[in-house]
Amino acid sequence: MKIHKNLPHTRYKWLKKPFTSHLYSTWLMDNGSLTARLQQRYTHFSVQPFAMKYAKPLQDEAGLLGQPTYKAALIREVFLMGNNQPMVFAHSVLPRTSLRGAWNGLGRLGNKPLGATLFANPKVKRTPLSYKKLTPNHILYQQATQHLLEKPNHLWARRSIFSLNCAHIMVTEVFLPQLLFDEDSMEHPHRLRG
């Protein structure tokens, strides 16, 4: 697959390493299934659908997927929930051409995790992860924080492209503050939640 890297505007620039991500770095750089990691961590793990629609991908997403910017793709957005709290906002771009063959059921996942399907097939290949510190003017930041009363200065996100034969899907995962709050309280159970 040809990955298009020459996207001029800095707002489209994603990093090869999540510099200054501090506490988020262990989550961001883990190459395994995020779904599986969250399922291990939380007794009650669930997927809460947020949006499922055909729409134009973001300009840099279309470029990386080798798709014209005017062409609609299936956009799937969900919250990965741990003990009924949103931990991760997942934004997936599924071009129409990728929803055939082995992946023809991906458009009907509902509240099932996409990650479980992708990591279950050993033939699926994944590009190296790239990272971005999302600021409040980024559309993914805005969607990920709609439910938050107090919005952070930024959110860390990572993304990669999964490929099976000639089908490609981009998955972006935006990590929410509750993930670290829970981590801190698990390591220090004597601390009261405020």
Q: Would you state the pLDDT for residue 17?
A: 86
Q: Which CATH number fits domain 14-187: 3.30.465.10, 3.90.1150.10, 3.40.50.300, 3.40.1410.10?
A: 3.40.1410.10
How many angstroms from the chain centroid is the CA of residue 132?
A: 11
Q: Is 154 left (phi over 0), alpha (psi -120 to 50) or beta?
A: beta
Q: What pLDDT score was predicted for residue 128?
A: 94
pLDDT at 2: 46
CA distance 47 to 69: 29
Place of tokens 């910017």: 69
- How far, in Å, CA of 17 to CA of 123, rounded? 26
pLDDT at residue 6 in the model:
45
Instruction: Going residue by residue through the chain, which has 194 residues, state the pLDDT in tens, using 9 for 90 and above.
Output: 444 444 444 456 898 888 877 888 889 999 889 999 999 999 999 999 999 999 999 999 999 999 898 999 999 999 999 999 999 999 999 999 898 887 888 888 888 888 888 888 889 999 999 999 999 999 999 999 998 888 999 999 999 999 998 899 999 999 999 887 765 444 433 333 33
Q: What pLDDT, on a 0 to 100 scale, did the predictor assign at position 13?
A: 85
pLDDT at 48: 95
Q: Tell which residue, 117, 93, 115, has the closest CA to residue 35.
A: 115
